[in-house]
Structure formats: structure tokens, C-alpha cells
Amino acid sequence: MYLWDTNILVHFTSQRPILALHVQRVKWEEIVLPSPAVAEFLRGRAEFAVKATPGQTPFAHGQLRQTLQLIARFRVLFFNEKADEAFRKLLKTVKSSKRYVDLMTAAMALAGNHIVVTRNTKHFKDVLPPDQLANWIDDSPS
């Protein structure tokens, strides 16, 4: 399966041509959103919705609605026990807490032999082998 990082979901809404080519080459069922990425994406939208000023509130809640509708178009792969084992191992080797969501996503990829699709490949290069990492924004399909 192809686990989309949060940044790919953002690019999906802007209809990037290279991303569209990649999506056409795989079965839609093989594209999933890892639950840590969904949580990260929703966190930002929800925070904006609950902290919006009166003038921003309709827009903020409209953004939240659009985000929920977008996520509903995908299958979500939830973090499980096998991923947790891989996550524990990664946390022993990587000390930066700033990468927590990326490490959770990498753990899911390792545990399930999935491919992480991200534009931020540098965030994963030290924890995933090259065959489990793809950039569908800048790299054209072969």
C-alpha cells in the first residue's frame, strides 16, 4: 500500500500533474492515509476552528468541513500493535521528538511493508529503505 504523508494530501487538493500521473498508475484502494497523518491534518484544522475569531469562524469551520470531506474519500490505515513494535525500535535510534508523526508513519510502513509517499523524503531517509519511500510530487513515474 501507499501511505500518504500529510503534505501529499495537501498537494492532492491542488491537482498537481505529476501526482495525478502516479495516482492513475495504481489502484485507488492501494492509497491509504496513515492515522498519524490524519490526526496531524485534523489537529491543525480543528485548532483553527476552535480558536477562530468571530470574523474567521465561518471560514474556519468551512475549512474543517472540507477537510473531513477530503479524508472521507480515502481509506485510513490505523496504527496497530505491529507498528507500535517498529515505532519503539525507531525511537531508540532517533532522538528528535519533532519527528514523532513521521516516525509513526515510518513504523507503519516498516511493519506492513508499505511505501511512504511524501515530498519530504529527507524526513524518512534515515529510517526507511529507498524502496519504501516515494516522492509523487517531484519525481515523474518511470
Q: What is the CATH number of domain 2-134?
A: 3.40.50.1010
| Spatial distance between the Cα atoms of 136 and 47, rounded to a whole number of angstroms | 28
Which residue in this structure is represented by grid cell 529510517? 127
pLDDT digits (tens, 9 = 90+) for 56-106: 999 999 999 999 999 999 999 999 999 999 999 999 998 776 789 999 999
Domain boundaries, the chain: 2-134
Tally of CB atoms within 10 A around 89: 13
| pLDDT tens for each residue of 9-67 | 999 988 899 999 999 999 999 999 999 999 999 999 999 999 999 999 999 999 999 99
Give the Cβ contact number of residue 129 at 10 Å: 10
pLDDT tens, 116-131? 999 999 999 999 999 9
Local structure of residue 32 (DSSP, 8 states): E
pTM as predicted: 0.92
